[in-house]
């Protein structure tokens, strides 16, 4: 990948539904998927298929409709959830399995570490049987032990992960601290150049966009965001704000048609106001 190219990963339909009073039906998600694809969004995270039939039907349907964007589903490290995502994206031109593993262990002893690393390895190996595009998220990375976090990232890449996501899961990070974390990861993980590093922020401190942009300066090349900043608790990084700031920065390249962003925002406004069936 060109080293100044930034991948835009949209999670409006998945993380956005974690915001209080936000729920989307299939038609609304199809409308959103179409505008996101038209905008040139690289990755569209549709749902968490392992959570139930609704989520599975959404990703399965949208996978057959969207051709140019990568369709993504989220799973924990559980075998059943990974297989649900694999089945859900079966009809996609381009599909991605996104797996998360908790890296903030209660006890950082050798046995716990080894068990966690084996979980990462086995879950990615399983997903690799179904899909080559694999994203692994280090859940609660900000509060984890740095050396173990780096070991977990190295293991994930060795096992076949092509994207490594470093999320601020609880929205507690500040730009200077998170930038230091990304810098340490690039310095300490020997195979980090074999994966795209992604970041995912929440707006608990109102710093999601600022954190996202700061991470780019230290090597991150995928930003996970959402339309209107929808997301768990106070929301995620706002896609339109992220895109405009990247363009203003002038040092990075993105494939977003900004002329469609206002239309996308209006669609989300309508979705959040409509009474869901």
Map out the domains of the chain as residue ranges: 7-273
- Report the candidate in 3, 4, 9 with the shortest Cα–Cα distance to residue 247: 4
Does residue 20 register a pLDDT over 90? no
Does residue 62 register a pLDDT over 50? yes
Q: How many residues does the chain have?
A: 277
Question: What does the pLDDT read at residue 276?
Answer: 43
In the beta sheet, which residues pair with residue 98?
74, 135
Does residue 272 register a pLDDT over 90? no
What confidence tier does 163 reach under pLDDT thresholds 50, 70, 90?
Answer: very high
Q: Indicate the pTM of the whole model.
A: 0.95
Q: Residue 144: how many CB atoms within 10 A of its CB? A: 21
Q: For residues 238 and 269, what is the distance between their CA atoms, to the nearest angstrom?
A: 13
Q: Residue 67: how many CB atoms within 10 A of its CB? A: 10
Q: For residues 89 and 94, what is the distance between their CA atoms, to the nearest angstrom?
A: 8
Does residue 246 register a pLDDT over 50? yes
Does residue 68 register a pLDDT over 90? yes
Does residue 265 register a pLDDT over 80? yes
Average of per-residue pLDDT across 38-66: 97
Average of per-residue pLDDT across 249-257: 94
Does residue 3 register a pLDDT over 70? yes
What confidence tier does 274 reach under pLDDT thresholds 50, 70, 90?
Answer: low
In the beta sheet, which residues pair with residue 224?
9, 200
Q: Please, what CATH class does the domain formed by 7-273 belong to?
A: alpha beta
State the Cα angle at 248 between 17 and 171, rounded to 5°.
35
CA neighbours within 13 Å on the CB side: how many for 134? 26
**CA–centroid distance for 34 within its chain:** 19
What confidence tier does 111 reach under pLDDT thresholds 50, 70, 90?
Answer: confident
Question: What does the pLDDT read at residue 217?
Answer: 95
Question: What does the pLDDT read at residue 8?
Answer: 98
Question: What does the pLDDT read at residue 107?
Answer: 77
Residue in the block written with tokens 């601020």: 168
- Report the candidate in 166, 165, 85 with the shortest Cα–Cα distance to residue 128: 85
Percentage of residues in the chain having pLDDT higher than 70: 98
- Report the candidate in 234, 238, 218, 222 with the shortest Cα–Cα distance to residue 178: 218
Q: For residues 185 and 105, what is the distance between their CA atoms, to the nearest angstrom?
A: 18
Question: What does the pLDDT read at residue 134?
Answer: 98
Average of per-residue pLDDT across 246-255: 94
Average model confidence (pLDDT) across the chain: 94
């Amino acid at each position: 990948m060109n080293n100044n190219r930034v991948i835009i990963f949209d999670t409006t339909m998945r993380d956005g539904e974690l915001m209080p009073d936000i729920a989307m039906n299939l038609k609304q998600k199809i409308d959103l998927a179409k505008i996101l694809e038209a905008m040139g969004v690289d990755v569209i995270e549709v749902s968490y298929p392992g959570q139930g039939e609704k989520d599975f039907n959404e990703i399965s349907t949208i996978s057959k409709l969207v051709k140019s964007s990568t369709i993504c589903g989220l799973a924990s490290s559980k075998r059943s959830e990974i297989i649900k995502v694999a089945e859900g994206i079966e009809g996609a031109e381009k599909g991605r399995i996104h797996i998360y593993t908790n890296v903030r262990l209660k006890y950082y002893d050798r046995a716990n570490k080894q068990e966690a690393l084996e979980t990462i390895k086995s879950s990615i190996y399983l997903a690799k049987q179904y899909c080559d595009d694999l994203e692994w998220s280090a859940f609660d990375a900000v509060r984890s032990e740095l050396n173990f976090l780096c070991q977990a990232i190295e293991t994930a890449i060795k096992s076949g992960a092509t994207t490594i996501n470093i999320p601020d899961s609880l929205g507690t990070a500040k730009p200077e601290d998170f930038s230091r974390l990304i810098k340490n990861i690039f310095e300490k993980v020997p195979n980090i150049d074999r994966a795209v590093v992604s970041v995912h922020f929440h707006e608990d401190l109102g710093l999601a966009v600022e954190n996202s942009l700061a991470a780019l300066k230290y090597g991150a090349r995928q930003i996970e965001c959402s339309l209107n900043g929808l997301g768990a608790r106070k929301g995620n990084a706002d896609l339109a704000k992220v895109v405009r700031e990247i363009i203003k920065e002038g040092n990075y390249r993105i494939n977003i048609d900004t002329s469609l962003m206002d239309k996308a925002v209006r669609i989300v406004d309508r979705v959040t106001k409509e009474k869901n069936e």
